[in-house]
Amino acid sequence: MRIKAQGENRLCVFRTPRHIYAQVIGSSGSGVLASASTLDKEVRGKIKNGGNKEAAEVVGKMIAERAKKAGVTKVAFDRSGFKFHGRVKALADAAREQSIEF
């Protein structure tokens, strides 16, 4: 298990069978700098189902864009105990494509 370095923002992911959520949490842990989920109006217009890899990719791109607007380019990836495959991996890969560094 990797211990989070001091002063590092984290990209926290949570998933349910129907939706996926992502937040960029500040280094102090006290505030959310950016968030995106399959429940956002912008995302819902682009997807048919919130519980698949395509939806996770859209959320990954959206969280990366919002994180860059907040001035975040480097994050620690917090998968909240979920295995790194499927939708969690799709979200991470989409965020990396948008030049968010893990």
Separation between Cα atoms, residue 44 and residue 9, nearest integer Å: 27
Q: Identify the DSSP state of 30.
A: S
Residue 45 backbone phi and psi in degrees, to 5: -70, -20
39-52 pLDDT, tens digit per residue, is 999 999 999 999 99
Claim: this prediction has a pTM higher than 0.85: yes
Mean pLDDT for the stretch of residues 75-93: 95
At 3, list the tokens: 């211990």
State the average pLDDT over residues 75-81: 93
Q: Residue 37's closest CA among 71, 72, 12?
A: 12
pLDDT at residue 1, rounded to an integer = 47
**Quick one: fold of 10-97?**
Nucleotidyltransferase; domain 5 (3.30.420)
